[in-house]
Structure formats: C-alpha cells, structure tokens
Amino acid sequence: MPDYDELTAFLGEWGPFQRLIFFLLSASIIPNGFTGLSAVFLTASPEHRCLVPDTVNLSSAWRNHSIPLEMKDGRQVPHKCRRYRLATIANFSALGLEPGEDVDLKQLELENCLDGWEYSKEVFLSTIVTEWNLVCNDAWKAPLTTSMFYVGVLLGSFISGQLSDRFGRKPVLFWTMGMHTGFSFLQVFSVNFEMFTLLFALVGMGHISNYVAAFVLGTEILSKSIRIIFATLGICIFFAFGFMVLPLFAYFIRDWRMLLMAITLPGVLCGALWWFIPESPRWLISQGRVKEAEVIIRKAAKFNGIVAPSTIFDPSETTNLQDGNAKNTQSHHIYDLVRTRNIRILTIMSIILWLTISVGYFGLSLDTPNLNGNIYVNGFLLAAVEVPAYVLAWLLLQHVTRRYSMAGSLFLGGSVLLILQLVPSDLLYLSTALVMVGKFGITSAYSMVYVYTAELYPTVVRNMGVGVSSTASRLGSILSPYFVYLGAYDRHLPYIVMGSLTILTAIITFFFPESSGVSLPDTIDEMQKVKRIRRVSAMSKKGSAPDSKRKVSTS
C-alpha cells in the first residue's frame, strides 16, 4: 500500500507551492526571534548607585564621597546598594570637615538606599529594573521574570502538541500566534513587576506553541528531501534573523515599553498568512476528512502547474492509512523510557545532554549585557553567529557521524568558555570573540540534538523520548538566568560553570550509540546498545554452562 508521500509524489519536491510554504512558515517564526530573547534588553540592569536627595545639605566634596567604594573585577567602583549614613555626613559637612582629611571614611556607618537609586542613562533610558527598582535585595526578581517566560515555554510544550493533534495544525498555529502577540501587547501596559511576569509566562506559552505548530505543519506538508532543510535551516535561521534585528530595534528605542511595542507589532502582520498557509493534508486524512485534504492537494498541484490525477486518495487506501496510524499509536507509557537498563541509561544521558546544551545556549544569549563592549553590537553578533552554526550543523549531519559531530561542537563551545578566565583583562575584544566561538559551538550542538535524539529512540516511544528530553531543555532555559546571575559574585564564574558542564556533556556524548547510516529502530529490543555498557549475551538456561563460561559482549 503506498504511503502519503508516494500518493502525493506527483507534486514534485521543490515547486512554487513548496517554496511558498517553506518561506511563509519560516517567516512566521521571526517574531519569536524578537520576543524569545527580548529579556536581554527589557530586564537589563544599568549602572546604579544610591540616590542622595538634593534636599540633603552636603558640600560638593561630601556629595562626591557619599557612596563607599567596593572592589569588583579588580577595580574599585561605587557601591550599588549602600551609602554612608546621610545624617552623619550632613553633620560633618555643616562643621566644615573634609572627607578623607578630617574624617576617616572607613569608620563611617553605612545604610541602605533609603531614597531609592539613580541609574545611568548612557545605555538604557528605562528597563523594568529601573522602573520597579529590581536591584540589591530585589535583584533576584529580574532573572525570575526571564525564568517565568521559560516556565511558560515549558507549559506550552506540553499542551501545544495535544491541541494541534485535536484541533488541527493551522488553527493552533494562528491561535497561538495571536496569544503570543496579544499578551506581548498587554505587557506594554504592565503596572507592576507581578503583572509583567505573569504576562511574560503567557507570552512564553504562545511563543513555543506557535513554533511547534509551524514546525509540525511544515514537516507534514513538505517532501522528505526538504523536511531536513526546513527543520535545520529554515525556521532556525529565520528565528536567528529575528534575534539579529532585535538589537537594531533596541539601539534606536531605549525605553522598554516602546521597544516592547515595536517588537510586538510585526506579529500582527502574521495574521495575513491565514489565507496562504493551508491545513496539513496528513492531519485531515488522519481525521477522516479526505475530501478537504484532496482539495488542498489539487490547489497545490495547480499552483505548481501540474495536472493532478483524477483520483488522488482512493477510499480503500485512505482507510488503510488511518488503520495504519491507529496501529502505530499502540499504548506505551513513559515507564517504557526506563523499563530496560539500556533505554534507562540512554534516557538519563539524553536528559543531561539537553539540559546542559540549553543552559549554555540561553545562558550565553542572556549574558549579553555583561560582555565587554557595546551591548547592541554584541547582541547582533551573538545572533549572527547562529547562522553559520546552523549551516555547519546541517553539513555535519550530512557528512560526519552524529557522535563526533555533537562531541566536537560541545568540546569547542566548552573549551573556549574555560579559556576565558585566562585571558588578560585588557584584551576585551579577545574575550568577546571567545564568547562568540562558544555560542557558535553550543548552537551547532543544539540544532543537531533534535535529529540525533529522534534517531536513537525506537518508533514506539520516539515522541515520548524526544518530549522528555525537550522538557529537560526547558528546565535548562529556566535555570539559565541564574547561571548568568552568578556573574554578580565573580565575572568568570558563569563561564567556568557552563564551560565545565559542556565539556562533561561532550565526554558523555561518546557513550551514546552511533545513529548515522543506521536504520531507525521500531521497537525497544531493536535499539542500539549504549557504548561500554556490558550485558550478558547468553541468558542462563536450564543446564547451561557455569557463569564463568558465559559469553559477555561489550556494546
């Protein structure tokens, strides 16, 4: 019985219809590139110090010395969260005493920023940090905001697939694009940190849901030869394009509310795609809506200038297709991912792999404000480096084995992050260049891990295996803002932690089976064995040889 791809082979591989779907679905991801990492600019913390009100009568000398100095990254800088007690230094000022000459500043009592803070406007006119004073004792709230966005992404990952399976790919794609854009628009009018954070979580749900819906819709409509390019280059590069344009918006719009408005409005334009993007014929057939699927296929044939056969889907063949789908979805449970020793070890290693890659990717992206140099240039470069990383990943998948491709990319990314702490502090451009190389390596691994994981798990639990691994990735993205937050204690600490974890994961990758050129397993018994895990190849039977004579093989 021919499958769907054979039945629709007359459409061709890369006609006008396929090109239109490829570029429209990829273009629908550009707004995701805007909001996916908008926290880099929306939640940035500018230089700040305690506010000393003009109403306090201080001489110019005492006003200049009202903030104590602290050592940070080898240099003395004004303290961000403490000041000398104003009542005390006001008395000294009134008596005509000079700081440092008549009064030992080290002996003065300190107090918190009771009158608020003053923020540098050199880079940002406003962020949510400056508007709601998310600094000092409340500094944890800024990374929490970003983490809650990724919590929304995690929740959206769970529900998006079920919704699209039930209601269709196209409706869910546009509902979630509307959710993504609508809640982003409402964020502009946030009145406090709590409202902004809640809406950001809802934006995260829409963000991942429309991404997944577009991914699934594209892979189901496009032909076999185009799907890999669509998955590795199409939507990934268009996401990177949105990420690259984000710093340009942020450079010209320094106010966080206006910036958020500017990156939200392009999402409204995606609504016009409703009239150009069709529903997935595969999904329609699975729902028994064969006539609707045939209408879409005939329109595609006409668009490609091809005469469609008089009968595309024979009733008996479509019934067999639906029956085949039902047989392939036999009952399996998440317990199957840990049922045998081999698949249990594979699942644990996959979770570690995805979690670490996600921490590295999002940690380096969110660390943009802390890099040396111009934040807008650095933001653009961190986005631009993803394009060659995706191209390299595609080439590696075509010509190099999976394990060496993954391990090599991770070793590259992790090693340069560890080298960073050895770079002299005056070589600012070298430090920034090494961060870019680290992002390049980790991004390459990130784009390959989807394909690699899907090839390792058998058909009966492949969706669950990738789903559990993807969940680990979401947990990594939730934790990543706090890896960046470690930089408040030591500038190199985030890179040391992320680099060490990445190197460790690269070593673990060598223990994975090789899937390149190997047929996809259909059952758990057909899975390849995890490397260097010993197993008994000859099970003991009644009257078998003693244990010492049993054959032991190494996978």
Q: What is the pLDDT of residue 532?
A: 61
The full length of the chain comes to 555
Q: Are 441 and 412 in contact (CB under 8 A)?
A: yes
Whether 290 and 404 share a structural domain? no
Helices and strands (H and E) in the chain: how many: 24, 8
Whether 381 and 282 share a structural domain? no
CA 236 – CA 393 distance, rounded (Å): 11
User: What pairs with residue 552 in β-bridges?
Assistant: 536
In a domain? residue 128:
no
**How many Å from the N-terminal Cα to the C-terminal Cα in the chain?**
37
Whether 322 and 467 share a structural domain? no
Per-residue pLDDT of the chain (555 residues; tens, 9 = 90+): 356 667 777 777 788 888 898 999 988 989 988 888 888 899 988 888 888 888 788 888 888 888 888 877 667 888 888 888 888 888 888 888 888 777 777 788 888 888 889 998 888 999 999 999 999 889 889 889 988 998 888 888 777 767 777 788 888 889 989 999 999 999 999 999 999 999 999 999 888 888 878 877 887 788 777 877 887 778 888 888 998 899 999 999 999 999 999 999 988 888 888 899 888 887 787 777 878 888 888 888 888 888 767 776 666 655 555 555 444 444 566 677 777 888 888 888 888 898 899 888 888 888 887 777 788 988 888 888 888 998 888 888 888 888 888 899 999 989 988 888 887 767 777 888 888 899 899 998 888 887 788 777 776 666 667 767 777 888 888 888 888 877 767 778 888 888 899 999 999 888 888 877 776 676 777 777 777 644 433 333 444 444 433 333 333
Instruction: Write the single-letter amino acid at 390.
Output: Y
Instruction: Write the single-letter amino acid at 281.
Output: P
The set of residues, in sequence order, having a beta carbon less than 8 Å from that of 498 and lying 6+ positions away, is: 359, 360, 363, 364, 414, 417, 483
Whether 21 and 59 share a structural domain? no
Whether 410 and 534 share a structural domain? yes
Whether 245 and 350 share a structural domain? no
Q: Are 88 and 218 in contact (CB under 8 A)?
A: no
Task: Spell out the SS3 assignment of 96-144.
Answer: CCCECCCECHHHCCEEECCCCEEECCCCCCECHHHHHCCCHHHCCHHHH
The set of residues, in sequence order, having a beta carbon less than 8 Å from that of 176 and lying 6+ positions away, is: 156, 160, 205, 206, 209, 210, 213
DSSP code for 71: E
Among the three residues 119, 146, 172, which one is the final residue of a domain in this structure? 119
Whether 343 and 365 share a structural domain? yes
Q: Are 320 and 1 in contact (CB under 8 A)?
A: yes
Whether 392 and 255 share a structural domain? no
Nearest to 200 by CA among 141, 140, 251: 141
297: domain CATH number? 1.20.1250.20
Whether 33 and 54 share a structural domain? no
In a domain? residue 318:
yes
What does the block give as tokens for 34?
A: 């805007």
CA 502 – CA 19 distance, rounded (Å): 37
In a domain? residue 231:
yes
Note the pTM of the prediction, 2 decimals. 0.78
Count of the separate structural domains present in the chain: 3
Q: What is the pLDDT of residue 314?
A: 67
In a domain? residue 127:
no
Among the three residues 285, 302, 329, which one is the final residue of a domain in this structure? 329
In a domain? residue 239:
yes
Full residue range of the structural domain in which residue 148 is found = 1-40+138-329
Q: What is the pLDDT of residue 550?
A: 37
In a domain? residue 487:
yes
